Structure 1
Amino acid sequence: MKRFVLGFAGVLVASSALAQVPTFETIAPFAYLVSADTGTVLYEKNADEPMPPSSMGKMMTVYVAFDMIKKGTVKLTDKITVSPETWRAWNNRGSTMFLPVGAQVTVEDLLHGIVTVSGNDACVVLAEGLAGSEQAYVDLMNETAKKMGLTNSHFANTTGWPDPEEYVSSRDLAILATRTINDFPDLYKQFYNMPSFTFGQTMNGKPITQPNRNPILGRVRGADGVKTGHTEAAGYGFTGSAVQDGQRLVMVLNGLPSMSARVNESVKLLEWGFRTFKTYKLMKKGSVVEQAPVWLGTEDTVPLVLDQDAAITTTRASRGKLQVKVSYTGPIPAPIKKGQHVADLIITAPGQKPLSYPLKAGASIEEAGFFARAWAGMKNALFGGSDAPAAPAAAVAGK
């Protein structure tokens, strides 16, 4: 075993819950709080239990449209006609954008109508325009959910309207929100932080302006999303996000008894998260963490490289107690391809399970020539070959 000593370092935490966290209580039957930067779960309560999403399900409706826009198959300026059938079905039915029958509406306005004012009519019109029918669009939503790894979710419509086949979990909603933020940063910024939206006219010809229903806008510093929900069956829910000092948190609450409870519990959960936890950015993508010895290669060592920024979200008191290791089975036999997973960066923090993330070879190394390999084999036969990988050891670098 060869041992190295590293300075202070860290590892990117992904989908790993803290084993012990400071006490937090909420009256919400469903609750979830996660770092969008590192995937660290900061709080969870019935996180994987299926529940009605109500209008929070519209986040998937928007995600699918954002994906089409990013791929170039749909433009924000494209116009969709409001059919008489859809107008009759959704005119003033629940939350509405007040779309007039026969109107040609841009994709951009429809998205604002969904995100800001939660228009059910906007969801169905958008779905019919982009996929031909609402059911075809729902099929795309479920395909996307499967690819995204939403294991406790199924969508039956684009609106979140109550349906026994429509369910999500709070963990899945947080994943969906985080993916929306990370996959479409420009579109997220454009659509998810509008204080109000004006569209349509009253009977007297006055413009209709509706406020954003987001309960944390203006109440939590850095708040910019994401989506409220309410039905009689689901109660009051909210998937929210905010950024403070470069740290983004995503939260989900559902099953609350009133709008005021939704506001109070949402603010309380996010403020607790920002007060208690901090994301520490420790190493940048492309950093060489260590040089690992190579067996029978044209080079003696290979650089171990991070292929993503390394950061950790933990309690402020835990920062000085982190332990970091580099682990690999070595010497690493040649040939080695650049980008090959050859080692792991492991971090241990108080109250947190050890986390392991891959380190990639920073260079390609060819196998040594015939004479070099023959000489190494001769040394192994004559002197025991302590360098040989016949019985490889786990090399560990630690602090």
Structure 2
Amino acid sequence: MKNLLSKLVCVSLCTLSFVSNAKLMVPNPPTINAKAYILIDFQTGKVLAEKDADKSLNPASLTKMMTSYVIGKELQNGTISMNDMVTVGDNAWGKKFRGSSKMFIKGGTQVSVADLNRGIIIQSGNDACVAMAEYIAGSEEQFSQIMNFRAQEIGLTSSHFVNSHGLTAKGHMTTARDMATLGMALIRDVPEEYAIYKEKDFTYNNISQLNRNTLLWDKTLQVDGIKTGHTDAAGYSLVASAVKGSMRLVAVVMGTSSERARSQEAKKLLNYGFRFFETLVAYEAGTEFAKQRIYMGDKEEVRLGINQSTAVTVPRGFRDKLTAHFTLDKELKAPIAKGEVVGTLVLKIEDEIITEYPLVALDEVNEGSLYQKLKDYIRLKLDW
């Protein structure tokens, strides 16, 4: 018996097959006319296309996604409710935001959180942002601190917010990658908040405004959010998410030339992702990959597998070319707990690694008798 630490075990289950010399025939992404872009699979986090995704850019009204995320978490935590009435302060009065997008609220009036929330998401109201920022945190400066705390919490590594609305300000910057991460956090963490993003219009004070995300009307895609942005410094930007079957994609384009261009470029990315990739669950949690010899235990073998479902994004049509490989981290000796990590499972298509998962023991193995331990000790020493 050779030392287990040097073993590489390749498992090909009957449901999977390996085709030699298979090529991952995926065309390059389409040409995207934007300062930066990224396309990500929501379920797996697989990046399907990107360019300058870590370039520091002005987020404009994409900022409101972060404001909305904070609101969504406050609603979840019960610190505010949709029925709360907010008194509009002077800083939030629409007159302060002439020439920019607003909800048209008036100073001194009371507006519900539900209306202000829709004013932010659907109408992109800068005035509504300030009203909610002051209601939640007392001032926009303090609210920005909460925004940055939440940003760090969800993994935004290159963003800094100094206001709640996104008008150009020194130090107020982000990246396409961070905006995709934020979009996915809205979908994942605050689904009730995210559900508002698909609403196509909102009327307040007898003024009706359409959602600026025109992809919501596109019948060729099932887009259900999320947010547009524009300033002279930022250009025209869009974060869009769409679903096809069990696959959800998030596309970000930043710094395009027009409202129409941002929708067209985002649509090109989404169509590319759905056309050439698919997301599937390769294995369910609890799947057994092998039985492996274990020493010093009350049994001679332990089942090895995974304790989480393995969702993967692969080129469309290549699901049958997936192979599973695993390596052991150590020689298996009792005691060993059920669920204990003992190695790594790697899913590949030919030599390309698609994803990796922890390999765990699917059974508990207790210490064996003195006789069994002595016998296994001798076997290991003699390398039987």
Normalized against structure 2, the TM-score is what? 0.88
1:271 aligned partner: 271
Q: Which moved more, 1:352-361 or 1:213-222?
A: 352-361
How many Å separate the matches in 1 of 2:351 and 2:262?
30
Whether the 8 Å contact between 2:29 and 2:272 is mirrored in structure 1 is no
Does 1:66 pair with 2:66?
Answer: no
- Describe the superposition over 1:284-322 as per-residue Cα deviations: whole angstroms up to 9, x where unpaired: 234334334322223333333433321221221433332
Q: Which moved more, 1:33-42 or 1:263-272?
A: 263-272
1:76 aligned partner: 82
1:142-221 equivalent positions in 2, closer than 5 A: 142-189=148-195, 191-200=196-205, 207-219=206-218, 220-221=220-221
Counterpart of 1:212, as a letter, is N
How many Å separate the matches in 2 of 1:372 and 1:322?
39
1:240 aligned partner: 240
Counterpart of 2:216, as a letter, is L
Whether the 8 Å contact between 2:61 and 2:230 is mirrored in structure 1 is yes
1:114-129 equivalent positions in 2, closer than 5 A: 114-129=120-135
Which ranges in structure 1 are unaligned for 5 or more consecutive residues?
11-17, 201-206, 387-399
Counterpart of 1:320, as a letter, is D
- Describe the superposition over 1:211-254 as per-residue Cα deviations: whole angstroms up to 9, x where unpaired: 01112112142101110000001100000000011210000001
Counterpart of 2:334, as a letter, is A
How many Å separate the matches in 2 of 1:27 and 1:250?
17
How many Å separate the matches in 2 of 1:145 and 1:306?
31
Q: Which moved more, 1:128-137 or 1:45-54?
A: 128-137
Counterpart of 2:213, as a letter, is N
Q: CA deviation at 1:145?
A: 1.4
2:256 aligned partner: 256
TM-aligned CA distance change 1:115 to 1:88, over 3 Å: closer
Q: CA deviation at 1:359?
A: 2.7
- Name the SS for the 1:39 alignment partner: coil
1:287 aligned partner: 287
Identical pairs, percent: 36
The alignment of Structure 1 onto Structure 2 pairs a total of residues equal to 370
- Name the SS for the 2:368 alignment partner: coil
Does 1:5 pair with 2:11?
Answer: yes
Whether the 8 Å contact between 1:92 and 1:98 is mirrored in structure 2 is no
Does 1:225 pair with 2:225?
Answer: yes
How many Å separate the matches in 2 of 1:264 and 1:295?
61
- Name the SS for the 2:186 alignment partner: helix
Whether the 8 Å contact between 2:103 and 2:125 is mirrored in structure 1 is yes
Q: CA deviation at 1:75?
A: 2.0
How many Å separate the matches in 2 of 1:296 and 1:45?
53
TM-aligned CA distance change 1:377 to 1:315, over 3 Å: closer
Q: CA deviation at 1:110?
A: 1.5
- Name the SS for the 1:280 alignment partner: strand
Q: CA deviation at 1:378?
A: 3.5
- Name the SS for the 1:192 alignment partner: helix
Does 1:95 pair with 2:114?
Answer: no
How many Å separate the matches in 2 of 1:188 and 1:80?
22
TM-aligned CA distance change 1:271 to 1:104, over 3 Å: same
The alignment's C-alpha RMSD in Å is 2.4
Q: CA deviation at 1:9?
A: 6.9
TM-aligned CA distance change 1:125 to 1:360, over 3 Å: farther
Which ranges in structure 2 are unaligned for 5 or more consecutive residues?
1-6, 17-23
Counterpart of 1:243, as a letter, is V
Counterpart of 1:117, as a letter, is Q
- Name the SS for the 1:178 alignment partner: helix
Normalized against structure 1, the TM-score is what? 0.85
How many Å separate the matches in 2 of 1:166 and 1:20?
37
Whether the 8 Å contact between 2:12 and 2:323 is mirrored in structure 1 is no
- Describe the superposition over 1:315-349 as per-residue Cα deviations: whole angstroms up to 9, x where unpaired: 21433332221222354222223332222220122
TM-aligned CA distance change 1:85 to 1:167, over 3 Å: closer
- Describe the superposition over 1:255-306 as per-residue Cα deviations: whole angstroms up to 9, x where unpaired: 1111121122122221122112111222223433433432222333333343
- Name the SS for the 1:236 alignment partner: strand
Does 1:47 pair with 2:46?
Answer: no
